[in-house]
Structure formats: structure tokens, C-alpha cells
Amino acid sequence: MSRLELYSPEGLRVDGRRWNELRRFDCKINTHPAFDGSSYVEQGNSKVICMVRGPMEPPMRSQVNQTQAVIEMNLNIASFSTLQRRKRSKNDKRMIEMKTTLERTFEQSVMSHLYPRTLIEVNVQVLAQDGAVLATMTNAITLALIDAGVAMYDYVSAVSVGIHDQTPLLDLNVLEENDMSCLTIGVVGKSEKLAMLLLEDKMPLDKLENALAVAIAGGHRIRDLMDDEVRSHGNQRVSKLTS
Amino acid sequence: MVEKRKLASGLTTIQKTFVRSRNGGCMKIVREHYLRSDIPCYSQACNHCITNLKPDAQGNLPLLVLLDLPLKLKNGGQHYVVVDTNVVLQAIDLLENTECFYDVVVPQIVLEEVKNRSFPIYQRLRALVKAADKRFVVFHNEFHEETYITREKDESINDRNDRAVNRCAQWYNEHLAKYSSTKNPIKVILVCNDRNNRKRAIAEGIDARSLEDYIESLPNGDMLRDLIPTENESFEKNAAEIAYPEYYSTSRTMAGIKNGTLYQGVFNTSTYNILEGSVLTPAFKKPLLIVGTKNLNRAFNGDLVIVELLPKDKWREPSTTILEESSIGANDNADDNSQEDLVSDKERRMLALEAVKATIHQGEKKLQPTARVVSITRRSWRFYVGQIASSSVDNETSNASQTCFVILMDKVLPKIRIKTRKAKELLGQRIVVSVDAWPSNSKYPQGHFVRSLGAIETEGAEREALLIEHDVEYRPFSKAVLDCLPKEGENWKVPENLDNGDEQLKKRVDLRDKLVCSIDPPNCQDIDDALHAKPLPNGHYEVGVHIADVTHFVKPNTALDSEGASRGTSVYLVDKRIDMLPMLLGTNLCSLNPYVERFAFSVIWELDENAEIVDVKFMKSIIKSREAFSYEQAQLRIEDGSQNDELTQSIRILLKLSKKLKQKRMDAGALNLSSPEVKVHMDSETSDPGEVEVKKLLETNSLVEEFMLLANISVARKIYDAYPQTAMLRRHAAPPSTNFEALNEILRVRKPGMSISIESSKALADSLDRCVDPNDEYFNTLIRIMSTRCMMAAEYFSSSSYGYPDFRHYGLAVDIYTHFTSPIRRYCDVVAHRQLAGAIGYEMLDSQHRDKHKMELIVRNINKRHRNAQFAGRASIEYYVGQVMKNNESTQEGYVMKSFNNGIVVLVPKFGVEGMIKLEMLGDANSAAYDEEKYELSFTDFKGVSRTVGIFDKVQVAVKSVQDEVSGKRKVQLVLV
Ligand SMILES: [Zn+2]
């Protein structure tokens, strides 16, 4: 197959977006009422479910931390989530890297000192991968934690950005991700603070600042979309209570 | 079942589903696809789209390219053109023609289809869009919500795409009618060669025309008519006769390559015999021979082909016969396919002769495996220059179109059959043709006329022909390129205030107080380099090489940069220079002219008494050259004892040090090879070529050369140190021993006791020094010329391609080397400048020069351009030498360089020309005998004297200039006296 025009001189990407446009972002919370918190996020064709239990008593004493809550991440990527069906083991290097990144991100974003000696169990299930999987997982976890009522400093909204020649491209799909180095960031609320930054290739230093600016703006838009969902869900619940 | 959803941001998303099969399996792929309403129509006549333009990441708005007053048809209709895929694929030449096709809309789907079918044509189309002077736009119909269409049930993908193109044309009509700012909305014409689709389009109310009809309806249609490419059927009168073996299917060749029964490689036609060629494949050490029309099976010189080995009893040695296209098939009738006997009698006789010889020599190591072409992976077809064979033109038929042959200038290519109405007019002209196809039932490839360059032997036509033949881009720089030049133009100056807040300017070192001068050939306009030297208190010397700071003006990722990168090098012809960069830079702003301040990139060494480097510094600088010398002027100044000013003394220091540098290089084994370089003197008033002289070398030539080498080596080390993976370097591989086998064998037979050893460049240099014939002073030079031809070509590479030991430059005997000193005329030097600037922290190195893959592309291109430029330069000298000879016939000394069973090749050192003398020209062909062991040809000459000539023999030849009747090429003809 010949190489794709990833970013045409006319300024359009393979899927018809411009450089600074997000893909379709759909999210729902409280999708699995059996859990304390749950969410479902679609970012383009990347689809992720997240379910949270806790804060709860840890089943094993060894897991206890006297001063703060322990967050346990369980990632599961369905074998049918990519084109080539492939079973990913839990010990896959990339899986471990994503797991640690997510754990560190949320240990800082959750007010874990409020819940000493407890465990927060986060289960993430990736159903389909179409680029920016880490970002989709981060957004799903944020929503599920909010649904579970876990206190957080602010939203963590994540998005990826890549550099194609001179142009930063926001929210890469899988075709784009395979062809350029890409950076995933998690923005805290409406600030310019980052809770997460993962660069899985190299990126010229002089382009980084520009890429970050584009990504932060994208993160803020995602935060607003998540906030809309949280508020409308909240309103729904309130109207049920009052009626 | 397409699900459409409108998003908050105004986009609509749909899911595109398609099935891909690979390796027998089958996958369903779902991709997101966004439709939008803000894609402009790019028309200046539209008052809607201008309100809805979206900027790119750099904040630039798209340009509305399509004129509000586009071209008119014969009957007055103003129109835009929408093209379909087949028209682009068949008639890209016509799209590039400056006489027609302005304001053209290329639907995205067409662009995509073109890309899948032919990447080179896609690139040409993209270049057309980019250059903007022909006003081509790509309209992304697949992303526009009003033009996107979904595939219907049972509709083939091709039909769907045709419908999309139709929809696109229709949309333009509606859109322009609705929003037009002019009274009469501009009409859209769909140019489409598919009859059925045209019918459908017309039914939908679109003005659809075939290419022919469209050209016909233009005001200058008559002129353009001949340029329409032939459609295949027009030649197929006798389709029944199948002559060439059919090519294997792709699946068969793929399987064959996988299991090792077929081999892929680039096909090269032998220089002396067009019915023979070779393919070098990685699987074999020696090239595979391919002999005879059937085995060659329509391969062109330079094609990427797939070959199959022939049985061992068909293996043989390379032919020792000279054979040109003009001598076979001269009587073929261009119009008549059926009577052609594919293998001519002459060819059969020759094959038999060769076969006999092969059996005699059976078992010797000279035997080479032979193969036949079974498929062609990639054609090397391009524009070719040639002339119509007069024998194929029927003078009776008046204006009807007729079929005739075009003989190409490149003698290793077959003639091409074209159809034209203007055959009579075009006789005696240099014309450009393009090849369309070579069906298996046609003896010759089929093509079409592109344009005429003018009468044969007129200066302009010959020059253009030469440039096209060597694939040199010679068109003027496009507007987009010129726009990248400094706004001040010729008035650009080094800023007077160096502290004007420009951070980069602050980093420049002020070297205006140094006594810098330049030494170049007389009348040099693009001065790349300048030098200075002064003694230091500690007895050492400070020596500086200052190179034009081209990268200050040529910034990465600009149109100017990509034009330079694609040209790769300037091309020097006898009477003209084709620049890599626009004149303003080359001869003015960058050129280190005397008495003015210029930006430079400087290398400054501290050298000790023995010219050993004590210290080296690199810096961007500002210099002011004190004088521009020619080699001769500088030489005179040095020798003139009365001149003792500082500048002269510094040149003397440079000369002294350069001699030491040269000696050190020679001791290390640098080669002193030779090629017969000549210079053509042009009469300055009439610019007619006057006389030919062999280039003289002065001490000052080598002065400049030594310091340039030193600068190149120092820079190479520095950039390799900073960028170990992507440094732009130049290497020269040691010649493989097989290259010298033949020459050593000839030496063994003809000059007992002499041989050339190649264990190291030192050994080679020494053995060349020993090849001296006391009776013949020129013999040593002759051996050097012949050795040069056995060497490998030097090449550019990026440092990740080879291990450090392979960086070696064999000819210069250094471990690492690059080109840094001529950025005005070589792109390698531009890259080296940027990398050096990055290495010394002057500015960030652009990512394309840090990316292995992109560097690989750059390197491949500049290697090719460099080679082409050399060939073009040589061809230009050859042409002018021929012109000079026209009036100066004389008898000269010559040397036999090669011998065949039907001719010899003789070199005339005085003019640097080499010519073939065929047996028919030597004497009685029937009396001739060729002694292959001794490389001797004996024959009876026309006076009845029997003679024997062999390689290295000194002969007297009459040199005259003749015009080749068939190809129209003037060349030097040699006749043995
Ligand atoms: Zn418009």
C-alpha cells in the first residue's frame, strides 16, 4: 500500500479533520451500577469501560498504607480490540508501563490522604483500539472515580498529540499514531498543570512547546465534555430524588 | 447501514467499513471518517467560501487559486476543468503543458487513485498543485458533506468513484451558480475518457467531454492535438500476431522471488551492443547477461526487472561486437506490424557466431550465466529526445495522421513509434516524446509526441535536448521559490548594527579585519570560498577557510529549500550554467564577492610549521574579501618578488602550507587519477566555440584544493561527532578486484612486466607510478585514465548506512570526508552546513536532517543528480568539440583503448575525445581476424596493406566531425590513417 497523505497540503488529515480538531468524544457515567463507580468512553473508535470499587477495606493487610489510600490498577485489553487479534499478557512491557503511568497519575490527583488504610480498585477494560488508548483510559478512570464519589483535586483529561513535519496534530487515530512520534498528556482541570506526560518516541525539543499548547487546549475541551456528562447525570439523579 | 452523526463542532462523522484480505485471511476494518462543510471551492469568483476559511497550524489561510476570469473555449465559454483519474494517468504531460489546462480542479478521489496507480505521476500532479502557476487545486470531495457519496449495494468501487467525480463536478456547477460574484457563473467541464461515465455525467447535466473533444474545443486546439497520448487500440491493427513472450503474473513472480528461482535487479543495456544487457542481482557476484530481443523482452535501460536463469548450455561470455540500434531494423516499416520478423537475420547470424565462440571457450572462467526477462517491476520511462526517422515518413499523405519512428538520442534505447499529423514539419527537428506502452505484439514501444525543441544542431535545441536526456531540471524557478528570497533583493546588506536584538546575529564572529581573498577560475561568478592566513606569535599559522553562508538564506522546509534539494547540484555546460539556487543568491548575496561584507561559515585552524592541525574552530562569521583572484593572477602575484604586501604574503603562506598538505596526502596514498579533461574556448563576441584545449593546472589550483579538502575533512569529523546517525558524509569505496581483472589481463599480454595492484590506495598509486613506457610519455596517463574507469564512484551517504571503517575515501586516502565548501552549487554542502551549525550550537538542526529515513531520501537523490550533472557536462563538451571539429579537420595521435572483433575504440588526447572505428571504416571486412588472446585486430586496409592494431597502440587518426544520419547527433569521427 502506498503511503498515506497524513496531512495534506490543503490542511486535512486522513480522516478529514483539521490539525486541531478532536475526534468524536462520547462518554457515559454510572454504566454499571453494581460497582461503586463506572464509566464508558469512546474517543473516536477507541472504546474503554472503567469500573471502580472503593474506597474499601483491603482484602489483605499487607496492602494497607497508614497515611493514604492505595490505588490498584487492573488493565485488561481485549484480544479483539486491534486488527490483528493478539492476546496481551499482563506482563507485556507496554501494559506495565501504562499501568505504572496511570497509577502515578491518579495517586497525585486523588485526595488519597482522606482515605487512609483503604484500597481503591480500578478495573479498566479496553474494548477497541484506534489510537490514543492511554488517553481514553485516563478519561474513563477520571469519570469512574468521580462517579464513585472519590475526592479529586480536579478533572484529569487526557489527549494525545503528534508532530507531522512542522504541524502538531491533535488526538491521533491509529493510522497517524503508527506513523509519527506522539505524546500523551493529562491536564488538570482548566489549568495548564500536567498530571501525566508520556512520550513514546522522540520529539524535537523546539517543537515540544507548540505541541503541548495544542494538547492542553484539546484537554480543556475534553474536560468540558466530561463535565457536561457529569452534570447532566447529576441533574438526572437529583430530579429522581426530588420527584 | 451508514450511521451519520452530527457533532457539536460542526463535523459529521460516519464509519467507513471495508474488507481487506491479506495472506488468505480477511479482515473487516472500520475507520472513522469526518465530513465537513468548511472546505473551500478555491474560486476567486465565489463570495461564500472566502467568509469561511480555516487557518493551518502556522496561521496561514488557504489561497483562493482559481481565477475569476478563467480561460475561454473557442466559442467563448469561461470554464474550470475537473479531471478524472485516467486523464491524469494518460495525459500528465498535457496537464503540465503551459498552453492548456489552467484552473483545474483535481478531486481528492482522483488524487488517491492516481497515487495508487503511479506514484511518480502522483508526485508530478502534486508538484503542479504546489507550484500554483497553472492554478491547480485539490478539492477534498471525500471530506465535504455535500460531495461525499456512499457506495450503493452491488456497486463496484470504480463505479462509485466515478460517481464521486461526477458529483464533484456537479457540486461546482451548483456552488458557482449560487455564490458567483460575476454575472455569468463559470461553467465546469469534466474531462473524462470513459465513454459510459461520460454518458452518465451528461445525463446529470454535466458538461463532460473526452480529452480529444476538450482539446478540440480550445482556441489553440489545432496546435495541441498531436500531444494527445495514443490510446492503446489505435495501433492494434494486427492484434493476432504475438511476438514477445507475455510477462509472468505478479503472483508468479512474487512466488518465484521468494523461492529463489527468479531474481530482481536493474537492467542495464550494454554500451556497445543494444541486443545485450546485464542485470546485477544481490544473489550473484557477476551480473547476469541477457542476450537477444526475445530474452530482453521489451526491457528498457534502467528498468527494474525480474529475470529467470537460462540453462547452463546457453551461458556465454559478453559479446565482443559493436551493435547499434541504427544498424538493425533500419528498414522496418513503421506502419506495418504484420510483416515484421521479430528476430532479424542479422541478429540471428550474430547470435550463431557468439554461440560458436561460447562453445570453444566452454569451461573457462570468462563464461557468464545468462537469463531472460520475465516481468518488469518498474519502468524507467521518462521524456526522451529524438528525431523522426525520415525513412518512416510518407511525404505523399498530406495532413492525415501517420505513424512514424522516432530515433532516440540515447543509443541504447529502441526507436519509438508515434502517430502524428505533423510528421513532415517535424522532420529535422529535435523532438520530445513520451512512451505510453509496449504491448507484446508490437516490435517497438508506442509513444506520443510531446513538443519540439527546434531544428537539429541549433544551439538552443541541442542544449535543451541534453538537459532533458540527463533529467536536469532547467525551467526557471517558480514564484513560490522566488518568494523565499530576501525582500530587499539585490540591496540586501549585512546589518550595520550588529547588536540589533537578533540573537543569531549576535552569535556571529566579526572577521572583517582578516585579510581574506578568493582564488577561482577566471570570470567565476559564484564564489563559494575564500581564504586567509597569518603567522601567529608562537611560530604557528592561523589559516581560515570561509564558505558562503547559504543556509542563512535557504531555511529548511521552504519552497526554496525543497527546490534546491530536488535539483541537488548546479549543472555546468560549456555555454550555460543551470543553477541549483536562484541567481540572486548564487552570484550575489551568498557569493563572497570582493570589497563587500558577506555572511560566511568559517573554519579556522591553528597549523604548525608542518601543517599539522593544532586546533580547529568553526563559526558563523562576517567577512569582507579584499580581492578576488583568478588562478593565474594569484600565481603571478606569488611569483612577483616586488609584491610584499600583507595579502601577498598570506597567499605565500597558504601556498607553502598547501604543498606540505599535498605531500602528506600523497604519502598516505592519495591517488592521482586522470581523465581527459578539456575546455572549450568560446569566442567572446560571437559565442561560437573556438578551440579546444586540455585543462592546465597551476600551483594555485592545488592551493585552494588542499584547503578545501582540509575543511571538508575537519567538518566531517565534527558533524559525525555531533550526529553519529545522520551525518551527511561522502565515501569512496575501494574498487573490487574484479574491476581490475580485465585491465591487468590486458597489461599482462600487451605490456609484460606491468601490473596494477589494488591492496590499498597506496599500492595502487605506487603501481600506477611504475607503469611507464620510456618510449611513450603519454602511456602513463593512458593507464591512469583506464584505471579511473575501473574505480568505484564516490557517493554521498548518511552515517548510519555504513560502519565507520567503510566511511573511507579511497581516492583521497582519508578515513572520513564530506562536502562542505560549495553550498551554492551542491545540496550536500547545504546539509553539512546545517549540521555543523547545529553541532556548534548556532541553531537547532531541523528534524529532517536528524531523521535517518529522510536523510536516506536526500542522499539517494543527490547521488543521482550528481551523476546526471557529470554526464550532462561531458555530453555538452562532446557536442562542442564536435562543433569545433566541423571546421578543423586534422590528423592527430591516438591510442587504442578497446578492441572488438568488428572495431576499435581510439582516444585522441589532444581533444579528449574517444571514438569508435568500425571494421567497415578500417578496411576490407572479410579479411579481418580478431585475436582475442592478444587483443589484436588484423585486417587489410583500403590501400591493400595488411595491418594489425591492438590495445595501447599509438595510431595516427584523421579527426573530423560528421552528423549521424539516423540520430542527427553530431559527433567526432575518427579514421585510421
Ligand atoms: Zn465557494
Cα distance between residue A160 and residue A43, in whole Å: 11
- Hey, are the CB atoms on A16 and B54 less than 8 Å from each other? no
Which A residues, 90 through 119, put their C-beta within 8 Å of a C-beta on chain B? none
CA of B37 to the centre of ligand 1 (A): 11
- Hey, are the CB atoms on B5 and A24 less than 8 Å from each other? yes
Closest chain A C-alpha to B27 CA, distance in angstroms: 7
Out of A19, A44, A168, the one facing B32 most closely (by C-beta) is A44
User: Pick the residue with more confidence: A201 or A109?
Assistant: A109
Element of type H or E holding B722 = helix B699-722
- Hey, are the CB atoms on A11 and B13 less than 8 Å from each other? no
Peptide bond into A55 cis (omega under 30): yes
- Summarize pLDDT for B870-915 with one digit per residue, the tens: 888 888 887 887 777 777 777 888 888 888 777 788 888 877 778 7
- Hey, are the CB atoms on A15 and B33 less than 8 Å from each other? yes
- The predicted structure's pLDDT at residue B1: 40
- Hey, are the CB atoms on B32 and A8 less than 8 Å from each other? no
CA of B57 to the centre of ligand 1 (A): 22
Domains and CATH numbers, chain A: 21-242 (3.30.230.70)
pLDDT of A127 strictly over 80: yes
Q: How many Cβ pairs within 8 Å bridge chains A and B?
A: 80
B630 forms beta bridges with B520
Q: Where are chain B's structural domains?
A: 2-35, 47-227, 250-378, 383-469, 479-728+812-875, 734-791, 889-976
Out of B13, B116, B850, the one facing A24 most closely (by C-beta) is B13
Query: What percentage of chain B exceeds 90 in pLDDT?
Result: 22
Sheet with B136-139, strands from edge to edge, namely: B136-139, B104-107, B79-83, B187-191, B207-209
Which A residues, 14 through 73, put their C-beta within 8 Å of a C-beta on chain B? 15-24, 44-45
pLDDT of A217 strictly over 90: yes
Among B154-163, B570-579, B706-715, B762-771, top mean pLDDT goes to B706-715
CA of B484 to the centre of ligand 1 (A): 29
pLDDT of B365 strictly over 60: no
- Summarize pLDDT for B397-427 with one digit per residue, the tens: 556 677 888 888 887 788 888 888 777 788 8
Q: Which residues of A touch B116 (CB under 8 A)?
A: 2
- The predicted structure's pLDDT at residue B874: 83
Task: Collect all residues with Cβ–Cβ distance below 8 Å to B626 and sequence separation of at least 6.
Answer: B515, B516, B517, B594, B595, B647
**pLDDT band per the 50, 70, 90 thresholds, residue B339:** very low
Return the number of other C-beta atoms located less than 10 Å from residue B486's C-beta: 13
- Summarize pLDDT for B798-825 with one digit per residue, the tens: 998 898 988 999 888 899 999 999 999 9
pLDDT of B74 strictly over 80: no
**pLDDT band per the 50, 70, 90 thresholds, residue B240:** very low
pLDDT of B479 strictly over 60: yes
- Hey, are the CB atoms on B850 and A204 less than 8 Å from each other? yes
The answer to whether the B47-227 and B383-469 domains have the same CATH topology is no
Q: What is the mean pLDDT of residues B218-224?
A: 81
Please indicate if any CB of chain B lies within 8 Å of the CB of A130: yes
- The predicted structure's pLDDT at residue A3: 64
- The predicted structure's pLDDT at residue B238: 43
Q: What is the mean pLDDT of residues B519-543?
A: 90
Please indicate if any CB of chain B lies within 8 Å of the CB of A131: no
Q: Which residues of A touch B848 (CB under 8 A)?
A: 165
Question: From 3.40.50.9100, 2.60.40.350, 3.30.565.10, 3.40.50.1010, which CATH number describes the B47-227 domain?
Answer: 3.40.50.1010
User: Pick the residue with more confidence: B973 or B838?
Assistant: B838
Q: Which residues of B touch A232 (CB under 8 A)?
A: none
- The predicted structure's pLDDT at residue A90: 62
- Summarize pLDDT for B253-300 with one digit per residue, the tens: 888 888 778 888 888 887 777 778 888 877 777 778 888 888 888 888
**pLDDT band per the 50, 70, 90 thresholds, residue B340:** very low
Q: What is the mean pLDDT of residues B755-778?
A: 82
pLDDT of B60 strictly over 70: yes
What value does the mean pLDDT of chain A take? Answer: 89
- The predicted structure's pLDDT at residue B511: 92
Question: From 2.40.50.690, 1.10.3210.10, 3.40.47.10, 3.60.20.10, which CATH number describes the B250-378 domain?
Answer: 2.40.50.690
**pLDDT band per the 50, 70, 90 thresholds, residue B537:** very high
- The predicted structure's pLDDT at residue B580: 92
Out of A10, A15, A20, the one facing B32 most closely (by C-beta) is A15
Cα distance between residue B479 and residue B858, in whole Å: 23
Closest chain B C-alpha to A124 CA, distance in angstroms: 23
Best B29, B31, B121, B857 member to test A by mutation, with max A CBs in 10 Å, is B31
Q: What is the mean pLDDT of residues B138-143?
A: 92
- The predicted structure's pLDDT at residue B233: 46
**pLDDT band per the 50, 70, 90 thresholds, residue B449:** confident
CA of B67 to the centre of ligand 1 (A): 12
CA of B43 to the centre of ligand 1 (A): 6
Beta strands in B288-378 (DSSP E): 288-291, 304-309, 371-378
- Summarize pLDDT for B626-674 with one digit per residue, the tens: 999 988 888 888 888 888 888 899 999 999 999 999 899 888 888 776 5
CA of B175 to the centre of ligand 1 (A): 6
- The predicted structure's pLDDT at residue A2: 43
Q: Which residues of B touch A205 (CB under 8 A)?
A: 844
- The predicted structure's pLDDT at residue B554: 93
Please indicate if any CB of chain B lies within 8 Å of the CB of A228: no
Please indicate if any CB of chain B lies within 8 Å of the CB of A2: yes
pLDDT of B133 strictly over 70: yes
Q: Which residues of B touch A80 (CB under 8 A)?
A: none
Return the number of other C-beta atoms located less than 10 Å from residue B390's C-beta: 17
- Hey, are the CB atoms on A11 and B30 less than 8 Å from each other? no
Best B56, B834, B846 member to test A by mutation, with max A CBs in 10 Å, is B56
The candidate with the shortest Cα–Cα distance to B854, out of B808, B798, B895, B781, is B798
**Assembly ipTM:** 0.91
Q: Which three cell numbers stand for residue B795?
A: 557517493
Please indicate if any CB of chain A lies within 8 Å of the CB of B140: yes
Helix/strand/coil for A184: strand
Task: Collect all residues with Cβ–Cβ distance below 8 Å to A28 and sequence separation of at least 6.
Answer: A39, A40, A229
Sheet with B5-6, strands from edge to edge, namely: B5-6, B12-22, B25-35
- The predicted structure's pLDDT at residue A1: 38
The candidate with the shortest Cα–Cα distance to B705, out of B658, B651, B641, is B658
- Hey, are the CB atoms on B35 and A168 less than 8 Å from each other? no
Please indicate if any CB of chain B lies within 8 Å of the CB of A86: no
Q: Are strands B383-388 and B577-578 parallel, antiparallel or unpaired?
A: unpaired
pLDDT of B841 strictly over 70: yes
Of A86-90, B259-263, B924-928, B939-943, where does mean pLDDT reach its minimum?
A86-90
Which B residues, 107 through 126, put their C-beta within 8 Å of a C-beta on chain A? 115-116, 119, 126
Q: What is the mean pLDDT of residues B530-544?
A: 93
- The predicted structure's pLDDT at residue B338: 43
Query: Cell 526517422 appears where?
Result: B389
Write the secondary structure of B646-698 as one string of H (helix), E (strand) and C (coil): HHHHHHHHHHHHHHHHHHHHHHHCCCCCCCCCEEEEECCCCCCEEEEEECCCC
- Summarize pLDDT for B555-606 with one digit per residue, the tens: 998 889 999 999 999 998 888 889 999 989 888 888 999 999 999 999 999 9
pLDDT of B337 strictly over 50: no
- Hey, are the CB atoms on A8 and B119 less than 8 Å from each other? no
Sheet with B890-900, strands from edge to edge, namely: B913-918, B903-908, B890-900, B954-963, B970-976
What value does the mean pLDDT of chain B take? Answer: 82
CA of B45 to the centre of ligand 1 (A): 8
CA of B180 to the centre of ligand 1 (A): 8
CATH of domain B383-469: 2.40.50.700
Please indicate if any CB of chain B lies within 8 Å of the CB of A209: no
Q: Are strands B728-731 and B541-548 parallel, antiparallel or unpaired?
A: unpaired
Q: What is the mean pLDDT of residues A149-176?
A: 91
User: Pick the residue with more confidence: A135 or B231?
Assistant: A135
CATH of domain B889-976: 2.40.50.140
Please indicate if any CB of chain A lies within 8 Å of the CB of B62: yes
In terms of CA atoms, which chain A residue is nearest residue B42? Answer: A10
